[in-house]
Amino acid sequence: ANFEMGRLYQMRDLDDSAAMYFNKAAGPTPFGQVAAGRAALAKGQNDAAATSFDAAAKATKNKDAKVLTMIAQAYGESDVKNIDKALTYVNAAQTANKKDEPALMVARGNIYLKTDQGGGEAMTSFDRATMANPNYTQAYYEKGVLDVRSRNAGDAVKNLQKAIELDAKYAPAYKELAEMYFYAGQYDKALSTFKQYQEVAEKSTNTDAEYASFLYLTKKFPEALVEVNNVLAKEPNNVTMNRLKAYTMYETGDYAGAATAMDTYMRTAPPEKIIADDYAYQSRILGKTDKVAESLVAINKAIELAPASKKPDFEAEKTKIQLRKGDYSGALGALKEKAKNGDLADQYRLAAAYASAKSYTQADSVFNIINTAKPDYVPAYIARAKVNAALDPEASKGLANPYYEKYIALGSADPTKYKAGLVESYDYLGAYSAQKNNKAAAKDYFEKALAVDPTDDFATKSLKIVNGASAPARKPAARPVPKKK
């Protein structure tokens, strides 16, 4: 029992617990020597492990297939990357068996998985295991895991469900299946399957913590917070759960609570455990509590720690903070650099930043690039109209008019989606027409505004003025250019 508990903990990456149970099973017999070797492997003591395994094999004259298979399993279930030593035990066990034996074939497959090109040999090994014993649960599980890794979802589901069919309490299959559904975006299936995993897995705070993490990943933030608090009630110093408490409180909108939780986490977590996402969340929390300068410091730390794949997202967050702080030169520098090789979304962010900095001519130039590259992108026209309205504050030149007109031409195809922009466009053009004493055009624009939004107060009042010929309507102030998310 101690040996199998050690295997279980090692497969769950709980190496300290694994070593403890393997040491309980250690002793002078070949079996005990294998257990001692596995304890050493769990601690990263590879040379000591090899010594124990060699002693076990020598004690059985290298002919006991069970002992040799156990050593092969030890290497297959460990982090040891060099497979040469492990394969000598596989070959010796195969010679002793004289036929394929499922446990050995699974071990062989796991050993080959440690190499970059070992997937083919691994799947062949797992297939040999199921051919040797069509009811060998672990082989179907391992095939399913490899199918997930190869992005073969159909076969992955089939093999993992076969493992569950053979053993309804085989917890790893539920977990792998749940994670596969999660990465496929099937969150309801992912959650229900993970709940099944939780029900059949060993009852522990670690399992509960995994469930809390899964709820967070599937954006069930209130439910995740409940599970996080349940784990922390039993393990108040659990680093992952203290981290997740700050994250989930932020996501549920409790920014004050998130700030307290983040302070606790940052104060108590070992420095080596703090990751880039921690600083990113800290930055967001500080931003929500109006500590903009501190927010900028935190996001810089996130960028420093982040892997290359995450840096662009954090850089984008930094730019938003700089704009909020009024540091337009800093924000524009980053946005201009990104726009050089970026997409139209990056160009839009640059144009919006220019507008925020009141550099309207530059903003108009960038919006022109967007209009030219994607002439059917509706939001860019009203954004450009706002910029030109700022360049023509008295509306004497009509600089904004062509872009409001283009917005109307495109946006009218979906008046529900573009309602606010259509109302703004009609109001602006109506006011411009009234200012130029073109009452017929003004009346037409205001009536169209009211057709889109009967509650439009500006159009209602302006229409009365136009009909009463008392005074021209004043041009409404253009709303700020919306930021690209």
Q: What is the per-residue pLDDT across 407-441, written as a single tens digit (0 to 9) for each?
A: 999 999 999 999 999 999 999 999 999 999 999 99
Q: Is 325 exposed, middle or buried (0-12, 13-18, 19+ CB in 10 A)?
A: middle
Q: How far apart are CA 223 and CA 226, in angstroms?
A: 5
Work out the percent of the chain whose per-residue pLDDT is above 90: 71
Q: With a cut of 50, say whether residue 444 has pLDDT above it.
A: yes
* Spatial distance between the Cα atoms of 81 and 309, rounded to a whole number of angstroms: 25
Give the pLDDT score at 349.
83
Residue 456: is its pLDDT beyond 80? Answer: yes
- Residue 473 reports pLDDT greater than 70: no
Rounded to an integer, what distance in angstroms lies between the CA atom of residue 370 and that of residue 348? 7
Question: Distance (Å, rounded) from C-alpha 400 to C-alpha 421?
Answer: 14
Comparing C-alpha atoms, which of 345, 346, 352, 288 is closest to residue 321? 288
Question: Mean pLDDT, to the nearest integer, of 35-41?
Answer: 93
- What average pLDDT does the structure give for the chain? 90
Residue 176: count of CB within 10 angstroms of its CB: 22
pLDDT computed for residue 452 by the predictor: 96
Look at 467 and 168; give whichever has higher pLDDT. 168
Q: Is the per-residue pLDDT at 472 higher than 50?
A: no
Distance CA 12, CA 28 (A): 27
Tell me which fold the domain 371-485 belongs to. 1.25.40
Q: What is the pLDDT of residue 197?
A: 93
Lowest mean pLDDT among 20-24, 133-137, 479-483: 479-483
What's the pLDDT band for 9 if we cut at 50, 70, 90?
confident
Name the residue ranges covered by the structural domains of the chain.
Answer: 371-485
| CA distance linking residue 311 with residue 300, whole number of Å | 10
Residue 335 has pLDDT above 80, yes or no: no
Predicted local confidence at residue 316, as pLDDT: 81
What is the C-alpha separation between 107 and 65, in angstroms, rounded? Answer: 13
Determine the pLDDT at residue 439.
93
**Residue 476 pLDDT:** 54
- Residue 262 is predicted with a pLDDT of 97
Tally Cβ neighbours within 10 Å of residue 193. Answer: 24
Instruction: Report residue 323's pLDDT band, with 50, 70 and 90 as the boundaries.
Output: confident
Confidence of residue 467 (pLDDT cuts 50, 70, 90): confident
The residue with greater pLDDT, 284 or 184, is 284
Tell me the pTM: 0.65
Give yes or no for a contact between 54 and 33, defined as CB atoms under 8 angstroms apart: no
What is the reported pLDDT for 478? Answer: 58
Q: How far is the C-alpha of 120 from the C-alpha of 352, rounded, in Å?
A: 51
Could you read off the pLDDT of 136-162 as tens digits, one per residue?
999 999 999 999 988 898 999 999 999
Per-residue pLDDT averaged across 167-179, rounded?
Answer: 93
User: What would the pLDDT profile of 57-112 be if each residue is shown by its tens digit?
Assistant: 999 998 999 999 999 999 999 988 889 999 999 999 999 998 899 999 999 999 99
* Residue 481 confidence (pLDDT) above 60: no
pLDDT recorded at residue 485: 47
Question: What pLDDT score was predicted for residue 445?
Answer: 97
Q: What is the pLDDT of residues 243-253, one digit of tens each?
A: 999 999 999 99
243 is written with which tokens? 């981290």
Helix, strand or coil for residue 439?
helix
Q: Is 253 exposed, middle or buried (0-12, 13-18, 19+ CB in 10 A)?
A: exposed
Query: 282-286, 389-393, 468-472 — which is least confidently predicted?
Result: 468-472
Confirm if 288 and 250 have CB atoms less than 8 A apart. yes
Sign of the torsion angle spanned by Cα atoms 447, 449, 452, 455: negative
